[in-house]
Structure 1
């Protein structure tokens, strides 16, 4: 069974292992998340969320949404950025990333009409986000957008 849990106070047990797995794949966004979280500098404002996925009770992945700061200054109005996504290799191809993305897309569209992602970090990121409905876009500091 897949369970999504919203984080408020602390990162989940086993998060250090997730950071190590990500780092081993050359993905640094989990280390950035750990650093930002320890400083209280991320996922703390209105309109922001950090979700953790558990599959059969085991930490499977994580994904977040923050305010997209560049959108307003570029004339797009308020927007949110989906970010800090990672699914453990052993948990891939089981719907974890899709469930995380779907929950955050749904929540994001409750308050804004534009969602962004930066899918430059890995070869699998671009096709994943495009499968979620995002379109390539270079009008801002993002690679893809999804409009309501």
Structure 2
């Protein structure tokens, strides 16, 4: 498996419609929200990365300012196709976004939508947070 990470500009990459359809079929609305975000305010993303395997889009993830804590950054809209899961694609995307975020801030947040996502983020070094608009946070020492 050769995965290439590519920075996305103002337009979503070829293959995004299939990625969104898969996410929607699984009950995840964040790829539809990403399409709306990019149509309305693409500048909200300080980074947006796509993961390609053999030329096919298999994942995507973004980074924005954290609305509730402007000095922090939030990772959002992370999705990997079912066929690319458990092969390190999400970890590569999240690691690249985290590395970029830590050049801008000491705190990175995420909002995990389910227990599996919570376990993923905790494995990435994020800690559970209560009473905040996010569910996990990574704090650099």
Equivalent position SS for 1:18: helix
1:118 alignment partner in structure 2: 111
Alignment of 1:1-148 (within 5 A): 1-39=2-40, 41-42=41-42, 44-45=43-44, 48-72=46-70, 78-119=71-112, 121-148=113-140
Structure 1: state its 5+ residue gaps: 73-77
Q: After the TM superposition, list the runs of 4 or more consecutive aligned residues in structure 1 that deviate by more than 3 angstroms.
A: none
TM-score, normalised via structure 2 length: 0.94
**For residues 22-80 of structure 1, what are the alpha-carbon distances to aligned partners after superposition, in whole Å with 9 as ceiling and x for unaligned?**
000000000000111112x13x15x71100001122111000000002114xxxxx100
Q: Report deviation, 1:125.
A: 0.6
Equivalent position SS for 1:54: strand
Equivalent position SS for 1:60: strand
Alignment RMSD, CA only? 1.2
Question: How many residues in Structure 1 have an aligned counterpart in Structure 2?
Answer: 139
TM-score, normalised via structure 1 length: 0.90
